[in-house]
């Protein structure tokens, strides 16, 4: 990839912390008639923990949690609990929350989370929590809670004041969001006689720096004991980077009466690439200049097998929301990075192969390079051998591709098994492989020979093999060295 793209997406690649357990913990302090408290929001990435099979082939993951809340090194709350994901057929991220009563002051929050199925898969961290005392003028406020979404949608993990919401995991705005949503509660406004106003502003850089003011809005506050502020700010034009949100309560004389701030980060690769393209003069005269939008989109989709996972997400966002110039720049930058002297010639040579693969493996489901066989062909090249089977009893047509040398994963004798369960044309899908970076389905034999249900070995939930049968050849083909 071109250095220019690496630079504009460098923040994107580094912004997500890498743990064995991919877990986000955010917190927010509040006041209520019953007293003050801190809420903890925990999001667990389902792909980072092991799932166990339950009844009806449903999956569930469990995480063991220990949270210690300390003040002056004295434990004032110790909470040990288990976070369980919902029973689902497919892995889904899952949430949990906790609430602890606290008084104004500074606290240390220490937390440990571990995979219930793998004790070595764990994290242990700590952070400071501060609850401010009421100001002399009688005003106080909650912390600032950033949200990924707010709606009348019961599928969102939490509910409050008549709406459902999802806290912003890692306090990072992802490419799927075009606005920053925040919730803030102000207490004691009914005790102030004069009219008060709210100013909310986004600055470049984290708090403590002298960042540039980027966006600002104002609104008048109500004279209520508790005013719940729920606002969103359009951020589609901001680049990836670090920012901070400031909230300021002031009067008609512009005197500041109360103030809070919150750091957040953004990953917006589409904006990054759009802005870089504006200043790249070589791009204007490159091979993409005369291409139509249809040609550009076809060429971009043909790159899927060549890109790392993080860049595939960026490409999908560009295809969905990017302007034509942004799409062209992504395509140009990729080939200019691979072949600086002749990017157009490298592109043409690749597309010649793409069109051949499209013709060979095309189906009613999409382009040939988007089918499983086309994707594997473009990603790993032509196999050394292909075994096609179309007439085996109790099995749909299937095909086994064999790669004798496989430098991508430093393996040898790598095999991919595609099958056609729909019996429709060339609609082959990848069922199983022994490639360490692709699909590995331990129950592949039982799926392939689903027509011989009574000959399955083991129980219906985790059984893996089939009874021996001379005419059943797939296992022999797949294990043959």
Q: Does 254 lie in the same domain as 230?
A: yes
Residue 138, Cα to own-chain centre: how many angstroms? 42
Separation CA 40–CA 238 (nearest Å): 29
Q: What is the pLDDT of residue 23?
A: 92
Taking Cα atoms as reference points, which of 399, 401, 370, 384 lies closest to residue 305? 370
Q: Is residue 330 part of a domain?
A: yes
Q: Does 226 lie in the same domain as 113?
A: yes
Which residues are paired to 38 by β-bridges?
29, 100
Q: What is the pLDDT of residue 462?
A: 67
Separation CA 404–CA 422 (nearest Å): 30
Show the tokens assigned to 209: 């720096």
Q: Does 458 lie in the same domain as 323?
A: no
Q: What is the pLDDT of residue 11?
A: 39
CATH code at position 199: 2.60.40.2550
Pick from 239, 269, 299: which residue ends a domain? Answer: 269
Distances, alpha carbon 409 to alpha carbons 20, 279, 333, 405, 435, in Å: 21, 39, 27, 10, 7
Pick from 361, 390, 411: which residue ends a domain? Answer: 361
Q: Is residue 245 part of a domain?
A: yes
Pick from 269, 304, 320: which residue ends a domain? Answer: 269
Q: Is residue 426 part of a domain?
A: yes
Taking Cα atoms as reference points, which of 126, 110, 131 lies closest to residue 28? 131
Taking Cα atoms as reference points, which of 276, 272, 315, 268 lies closest to residue 296? 315
Q: Does 153 lie in the same domain as 24?
A: yes
Q: Is residue 9 part of a domain?
A: no
Distances, alpha carbon 464 to alpha carbons 277, 417, 444, 472, in Å: 52, 16, 7, 15
Show the tokens assigned to 402: 């064999």
CB within 8 Å of 199: residues ≥ 6 apart? 216, 217, 218, 246, 247, 248, 250
Q: Does 254 lie in the same domain as 111?
A: yes
Q: What is the pLDDT of residue 185?
A: 96
Q: Does 54 lie in the same domain as 26?
A: yes
Number of domains composing the chain? 3
Q: Is residue 223 part of a domain?
A: yes
- Tokens 């609990």, located at residue: 81
Q: Give the pLDDT of the chain (481 residues) as one tens digit per residue.
A: 445 444 444 334 333 334 468 899 999 999 877 789 999 999 999 888 988 877 777 889 999 999 999 999 899 999 999 999 999 888 889 999 999 999 999 999 999 999 998 888 999 999 999 999 988 888 999 999 999 999 988 889 999 888 999 999 999 998 778 899 999 999 999 999 999 999 999 999 998 877 899 999 999 999 999 999 999 999 888 888 899 999 999 999 999 999 999 999 988 777 777 777 766 778 878 899 889 999 999 999 999 888 877 678 788 888 887 788 888 988 998 898 888 889 999 999 999 999 999 999 987 777 999 999 999 999 999 999 999 999 888 899 999 999 998 988 888 999 999 999 988 778 899 999 999 888 888 888 888 988 787 778 877 666 778 878 877 888 888 876 5
Q: Does 315 lie in the same domain as 219?
A: no
Q: What is the pLDDT of residue 231?
A: 95
Provide the residue range defining the domain that includes 420. 374-479
Q: Does 277 lie in the same domain as 198?
A: no
Q: Is residue 290 part of a domain?
A: yes
CB within 8 Å of 314: residues ≥ 6 apart? 9, 12, 175, 269, 270, 273, 330
Beta 105-115 vs 59-71: how paired, if at all? antiparallel
Give the single-character DSSP code of 466.
B
Separation CA 418–CA 118 (nearest Å): 32
Q: Does 58 lie in the same domain as 112?
A: yes
């Amino acid at each position: 990839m071109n250095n220019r793209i690496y630079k504009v997406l460098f923040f994107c690649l580094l912004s997500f912390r890498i743990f064995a357990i991919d877990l986000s913990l955010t917190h927010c302090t509040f006041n209520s008639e019953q007293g003050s408290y801190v809420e903890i929001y925990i999001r667990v990435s389902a792909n980072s923990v092991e799932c166990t099979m339950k009844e009806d082939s449903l999956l569930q993951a469990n995480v063991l949690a220990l949270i210690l809340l300390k003040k002056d090194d004295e434990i004032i709350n110790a909470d040990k609990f288990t976070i369980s994901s919902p029973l689902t057929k497919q892995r889904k991220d899952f949430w949990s929350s906790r609430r602890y009563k606290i008084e104004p002051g500074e606290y240390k929050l220490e937390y440990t989370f571990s995979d219930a199925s793998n004790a070595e898969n764990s994290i242990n961290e700590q952070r400071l929590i501060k609850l401010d005392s009421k100001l002399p003028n009688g005003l106080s406020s909650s912390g600032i809670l950033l949200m990924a979404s707010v709606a009348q949608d019961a599928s969102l993990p939490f509910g409050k004041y008549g709406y459902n919401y999802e806290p912003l995991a890692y306090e990072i705005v992802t490419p799927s969001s075009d606005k920053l949503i925040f919730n803030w509660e102000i207490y004691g406004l009914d005790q102030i006689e004069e009219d008060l106003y709210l100013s909310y502003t986004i600055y470049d850089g984290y708090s403590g720096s002298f960042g540039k003011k980027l966006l600002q809005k104002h609104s008048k506050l109500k004279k209520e004991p508790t005013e719940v502020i729920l606002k969103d700010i359009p951020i589609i034009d901001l680049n990836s980077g670090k920012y901070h949100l400031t909230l300021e309560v002031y009067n008609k004389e512009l005197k500041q009466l109360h103030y809070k701030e919150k750091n957040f980060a953004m990953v917006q690769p589409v904006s990054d690439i759009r802005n870089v393209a504006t200043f790249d003069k070589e791009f204007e005269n490159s091979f993409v200049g005369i291409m139509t939008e249809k040609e550009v989109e076809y060429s971009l989709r043909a790159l899927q097998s060549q890109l790392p996972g993080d860049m595939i997400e960026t490409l999908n966002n560009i295809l969905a929301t990017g302007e034509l110039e942004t799409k062209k720049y992504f395509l140009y930058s990729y080939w200019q990075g691979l072949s600086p002297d002749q990017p157009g010639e490298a592109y043409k040579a690749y597309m010649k192969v793409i069109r051949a693969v499209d013709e060979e493996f095309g189906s009613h489901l999409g382009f040939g390079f988007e089918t499983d066989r086309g994707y594997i062909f473009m990603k790993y090249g032509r196999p050394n051998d292909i075994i096609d089977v179309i007439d085996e009893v109790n099995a749909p047509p299937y095909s086994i591709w064999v790669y004798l040398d496989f430098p991508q994963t430093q393996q040898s004798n790598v095999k991919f098994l595609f099958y056609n369960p729909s019996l429709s044309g060339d609609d082959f899908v990848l069922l199983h492989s022994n490639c360490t970076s692709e699909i590995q389905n331990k129950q592949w034999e039982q799926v392939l020979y689903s027509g011989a249900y009574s000959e399955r070995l083991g129980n219906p939930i985790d059984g893996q093999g089939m009874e021996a049968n001379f005419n059943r050849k797939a296992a022999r083909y797949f294990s043959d060295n």
